[in-house]
Structure 1
Amino acid sequence: MPFDALIFDLDGTLADTMPAHYVAWRSTMEKYGITFDEDRFYALGGKPSDKIVELLAGEQGIALDPHTVAIEKEEAFLLEISNVAPIEATVELVYEYRGRIPMAVATGAMRYVADLILGHIGLSNHFDACVTSEDTARHKPYPDVFLEAAKQLNVEPEHCRVYEDADLGVEAARRAGMEVVDVRNFFTPRRITVS
């Protein structure tokens, strides 16, 4: 391993959560008359839920409290968590390198949701650090989440390798000066057809 630390995104990288997240997004947004198609959903991968709500509501001229609606969306997602599975190719890396080099999760998820997902896929206590949306002021595509993970691991950014599945996250890792592996090169998330 030519790196001193590994940093993993969570949704779509360690856990196949994206279909469940999209079901939750669709049901929540429909209540407020907000449209959110699946392609746009994937394009915004890595952005915290409250920022997505704020963006969509602003674009569609709907007044609401982004934080409250984001919590509602996360609660809807938790109803779908039984449909979440680990992404074996990246989870195998966690098992292979656990205890050998420092590892972190760097995610746009809220901490309580990240903890529940990691527990659901059997990866609680497998990481030396977990940086969530609450831990940085700026989010992907800004590099802050990855830089904070490197700081917590006590490893220089240029000695970290990141695993990511979204354009915003890939850009954030590059801005952090880290090598990034785009997991979409070996894993394609399931798509949802919602009428």
Structure 2
Amino acid sequence: MLFDWDGTLVDSQYANYRAMSGALAPEGVTLEKEWFDARTGLSSAEMIHTLVDERALRLSRPVEQIVADRDELFLKGAHEVRPHTELLKVVDAMHHRLPMAVASGGSRRIIEETLRHQPFHDRFDTLVTRDDVERGKPAPDIFLRAAEELGAAPSRCTVYEDSDEGIAAAHAAGMAVIDVRPFTGTGAHA
């Protein structure tokens, strides 16, 4: 079983928005929550590049620095991020029954720090992040790497996801997928 992180296992949407908005403010950018919410499947860097392209922005700092600032702002509130209770029940029910992985387009450092505050912090056999693969979602790389680390054939994996990009990645990996948005109220529905 493979679980996306943001919006699937944890309700981190507002914390992510607040951090991104704060990191972009010194650039004179006002980030609308609706714009941010519609792009939840993108990495922070991909989101900033999209924003720059759409608004023809000129940034005073490199994208990597803005992402680093975003990460620091997020980490200050990592202890406030809570699990989605519906997914917590699934994780608890499957613990010791099936191998499980967190497979996320987020950064390893952010997920590890936030995971240690979660009631399911010790339930996963592996963690695969955007840092571990060449291409992020909607490419299948993250899910394929997680399956490999679990020793599971992709066709035998089920992915829990909350974004269109993640669902596309799971399908591209040849995996079954459960769209958690009806249960969590997250993400933009397809």
The question of a shared fold, defined as TM-score above 0.5 by the shorter chain, is answered with yes
Provide the TM-score with structure 2 as the length reference: 0.90
Q: Hey, which bits of structure 1, 4+ residues long, moved more than 6 A?
A: none
Residues in 2 aligned to 1:174 and 1:34: alpha-carbon distance in whole angstroms: 35
Residues in 2 aligned to 1:130 and 1:152: alpha-carbon distance in whole angstroms: 9
Which residue of the partner structure matches residue 17 of structure 2? 22
Which residue of the partner structure matches residue 45 of structure 2? 50
Q: Deviations over 1:116-158 (max 9, x none)?
A: 1111112223111110111011001111111111111111111
Which residue of the partner structure matches residue 183 of structure 2? 186
| Bigger mean CA deviation after superposition, 55-64 or 86-95 | 55-64
Provide the TM-score with structure 1 as the length reference: 0.88
Name the SS for the 2:10 alignment partner.
coil
Matching of residues 138-177 of structure 1 within 5 Å: 138-177=135-174
- Consecutive unaligned residues of structure 1, counting only runs of 5 or more, are 1-5, 191-195
Name the SS for the 2:119 alignment partner.
coil
Name the SS for the 1:117 alignment partner.
helix
Conserved in 2, the CA contact under 8 Å of 1:157 and 1:178?
A: yes
Which residue of the partner structure matches residue 58 of structure 2? 62
Are 2:29 and 1:38 equivalent residues in the alignment?
no
Residues in 2 aligned to 1:82 and 1:130: alpha-carbon distance in whole angstroms: 19
CA shift, 1:75, in A, is 0.9
**Count of aligned residue pairs for this structure pair:** 185
Matching of residues 5-154 of structure 1 within 5 Å: 6-59=1-54, 60-63=56-59, 64-154=61-151
Name the SS for the 1:113 alignment partner.
helix
Residues in 1 aligned to 2:137 and 2:30: alpha-carbon distance in whole angstroms: 23
| Bigger mean CA deviation after superposition, 123-132 or 53-62 | 53-62
Counterpart amino acid of residue 62 in structure 1: R
- Consecutive unaligned residues of structure 2, counting only runs of 5 or more, are none
CA shift, 1:162, in A, is 0.5
Conserved in 2, the CA contact under 8 Å of 1:131 and 1:145?
A: yes
